[in-house]
Amino acid sequence: MKFSSRLFATSLTAAGAFASLAIAMDAQAHGIWFAQRARQLALIYGIGADDLDMVRRLPLLNTVTGYDADWKPVPIRLRTAGAIPVVDSDAPYAATAATMDYGIWSIQPGQDWVNKGRDENPTATRAEHTYKYTVHLEKPLNKEMPLLEGHRLQIVPVSKTIPQESGKPFAVKVYFEGKPFAGAEILTDFVNDPDMPPLKTGPDGIATFRLRNQGLNVIAATIIGKTDQPKKYDYIEYRATLSFVLPHAEE
């Protein structure tokens, strides 16, 4: 699977004015993120310690892109290596990203989610359309992260330099459709503490917190948007993650 890479530059002006719905976000709570597996960079689908079947879900990906330290495109592709997809590249990369349209899902009480809309599952208590986005920082960057094409929701570090020690304050700005978004729910440790009470971004789209792990950090942002097809689903869930590693001490 190979995808084209293009950077998307946009000017950011007004604060986010997107109508969010007061829906408890316990539905399709999964996300995607990049993490090291057996020395290779893998794309993970899951939540918390659940590392689920990403290979089966590869067809749902819209884009997989790589970048150098200046955020210039570096062609990358995913290769299925047994149970996991890993990143392949002919050149070094400093960051990777992916977008996924996870489709329409609905649920009835006492049953599992099914890949059907309300039109096919009329007695469903909830029906949703979910999109998932991720950006991974593999190496130090020379420039601040731009907004990436296809990432309708994106977590952007406020500074290009990420603190290298856990416990240090870290600020991110959440953008939706190119504009800072107020009220996005932030999980500061999506892998190790997915049930934590979420933080919320301020009016400027910024949330500041202390980095949790001297290792893999996966930060998640979620917003709920209005449906654009009310006969099929009640709302749209957008979930973005940002992942990076703080190095361990020398052995």
Residues in contact with another protein by CB under 8 A are 38-40, 79, 81, 86, 88-92, 250-251
C-beta of 66 vs 178, nearer to another protein: 66
Minimum CB separation of residue 50 from another protein in Å reads 25
CB 88 within 8 A of CB 158: no
CB-based contact 140:71 (threshold 8 Å): no
Least distance (Å) between residue 38 CB and another protein:
8
The smaller minimum CB distance to another protein, of residues 14 and 249, is found at: 249
Report d(CA 196, CA 239) in Å as an integer.
16
- Nearer Cβ to another protein, position 92 or 215? 92
The residues facing 83 across adjacent strands are none
Q: Hey, what amino acid is at 106?
A: S
When the beta carbons of 89 and 208 are compared against another protein, the nearer one is 89
Q: Half-sphere exposure of 241 toward its Cβ, with a 13 Å CA cutoff? A: 31
CB 219 within 8 A of CB 112: no
Distances from the Cα of 114 to the Cα of 62, 106, 121, 235, angstroms: 21, 6, 9, 16
Nearest residue to 187 via CA among 215, 160, 139, 155: 155
Q: What's the min distance (Å) between Cβ of 78 and another protein? A: 12
Q: Which is nearer to another protein, 43 or 186 (CB)?
A: 43
